[in-house]
């Protein structure tokens, strides 16, 4: 367990309060009798039982993180994580979701910041989690808003999945790591903040993966002597999957075929642009 500066902990809880007020929710850990409702919230989001209530009770009793976001008396978001390696230093956040109709209010941000403050209170300074690398809004949230960084690209991490969100789409995931005792990107002084990418600034960077006609993925040859390239994502892969599951599956293969060889060759996933393109840099 690390020793965390008390001022950093206090600042983290202030971040939670500000985010919760903006989202008009209260985020707190759940009592055992609230776990059945939490399981139902998760079932409503994914269309199947992601985590059943008895496991939520057991995780909370064992000291792991089981929390929810309340709009008045209504549970509208759930976030669950368990202690992980390095022992005494890290938490792995397994699932987080917001009910339909409560999205786009910043509830996900409030829950993630609560999870961060909860960890710092306990001397945990790192959090990991996985996300679908094709979901552009999640990539931007994780890397731009929170400041998490890529730790690994995991091919078919969970194997075949049968829930209403992931069925038939493979389960490649990006594992991200978040340093919890570092300042949030929004609080980094301008002189220290990450500069805008070329794409954000409007300059041209070669794309090795782009969005073609009918939302189909287009893979381009690696430019000679390139040191920075972009890999584009469809703006809304979930909409693509609903309209055309076959195109969604093609995107899974295309992104894997683009990112994995570059990462294996030492390239670094440096971030994601505002419009949803991964920026890769050669070492």
Identify whether 38 is part of a domain: yes
117 lies in the same domain as 217: no
Question: Bigger pLDDT: 1 or 75?
Answer: 75
Examine the domain organization and report whether 115 and 214 are in the same domain. no
Average of per-residue pLDDT across 177-182: 96
Domain-embedded: residue 149: no
Does the residue 277 lie in any domain?
Answer: yes
Q: Which domain holds residue 52?
A: 1-124
- Output the pTM of the full model: 0.89
Residue 271 within a domain? yes
Q: pLDDT-derived band of residue 279, with 50, 70 and 90 as boundaries? A: very high
Radius of gyration for the chain, computed over Cα atoms and rounded to the nearest angstrom: 19
Tell me whether residue 148 is in a domain.
Answer: no
Q: What is the mean pLDDT of the chain?
A: 90
- Give the pLDDT band of residue 278 (cuts 50, 70, 90): very high
In a domain, 162, yes or no: no
Query: What digits encode the pLDDT tens for the residues 49-70?
Result: 789 999 999 999 999 999 999 9
pLDDT band at 190 (very low <50, low <70, confident <90, very high): very low
Question: What percent of the chain lies above the pLDDT cut of 70?
Answer: 90
Q: What is the DSSP string of the chain?
A: -----HHHHHHHHHHHHHHHHHHT-EEEEPPGGGHHHHHHHHHHHHSS-SS-HHHHHHHHHTT-EEEEEEETTEEEEEEEEEEESSTTTEEEEEEEEE-TTSTTSSHHHHHHHHHHHHHHHTT--EEEEEE-TT-HHHHHIIIIII--EEEEEETTTT-S--STTTTTS---EEEEEEETTSPPGGGS-TTTSPPPPHHHHT----EEEEE-GGG-EEE-PPPTT-SEEEEE--TTHHHHHHH-HHHHHHHHHHHHHHHHHHHHTT-EEEEE-TTSEEEEE--
What is the predicted pLDDT for the residue at 48?
76
Q: pLDDT tens, 206-235?
A: 999 999 999 999 999 999 889 999 999 999
- Say if residue 118 is in the same domain as residue 206: no
Tell me, what CATH number does 6's domain have?
Answer: 3.40.630.30
Q: Regarding predicted confidence, which is higher, 200 or 113?
A: 113
Residue 168 lies in a domain: no
**Final residue in a domain of this structure, among 95, 124, 153:** 124
Instruction: Tell me how many domains the chain contains.
Output: 2
pLDDT of residue 194: 46
Write the pLDDT tens digit of every residue in 233-265: 999 999 999 999 999 999 999 999 999 999 999
Residue 138 maps to a domain: no
Q: Is the pLDDT of residue 201 over 50?
A: no
Band of pLDDT at residue 159, cut at 50, 70 and 90? confident
| Neighbour-count burial for 4-19, b at 16+ CB within 10 Å, e otherwise | beeeebeebbebbeeb
């Amino acid at each position: 367990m690390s020793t965390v500066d008390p001022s950093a902990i206090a600042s983290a809880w202030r971040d939670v309060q500000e985010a919760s007020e903006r989202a008009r929710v209260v985020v707190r850990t759940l009592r055992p009798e609230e776990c059945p409702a939490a399981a139902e919230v998760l079932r409503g989001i994914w269309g199947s039982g992601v985590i059943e209530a008895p496991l939520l009770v057991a995780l909370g009793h064992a000291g792991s993180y089981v929390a929810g976001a309340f709009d008045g008396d209504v549970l509208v978001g759930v976030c669950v994580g368990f202690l992980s390696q390095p022992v005494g230093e890290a938490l792995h956040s397994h699932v987080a979701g917001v009910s339909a109709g409560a999205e786009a209010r910043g509830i996900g941000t409030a829950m993630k910041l609560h999870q961060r403050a909860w960890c710092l209170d306990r001397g945990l300074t790192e959090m990991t989690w996985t996300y679908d690398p094709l979901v552009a809004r999640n990539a931007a949230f994780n890397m731009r808003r929170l400041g998490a960084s890529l730790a690994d690209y995991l091919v078919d991490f969970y194997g075949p999945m049968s829930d209403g969100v992931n069925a038939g789409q493979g389960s490649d995931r990006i594992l991200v790591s978040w340093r919890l005792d570092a300042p949030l990107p929004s609080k980094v002084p301008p002189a220290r903040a990450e500069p805008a990418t070329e794409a954000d600034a409007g300059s041209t960077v070669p794309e090795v993966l782009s969005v073609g006609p009918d939302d189909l993925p287009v893979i381009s040859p690696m430019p000679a002597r390139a040191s920075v390239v972009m890999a584009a994502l469809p703006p809304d892969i979930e909409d693509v999957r609903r309209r055309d599951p076959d195109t969604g599956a093609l995107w899974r293969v295309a992104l894997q075929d683009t990112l994995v060889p570059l990462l294996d060759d030492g390239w670094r996933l440096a971030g994601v642009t505002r419009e949803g393109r991964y920026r890769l840099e050669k070492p």
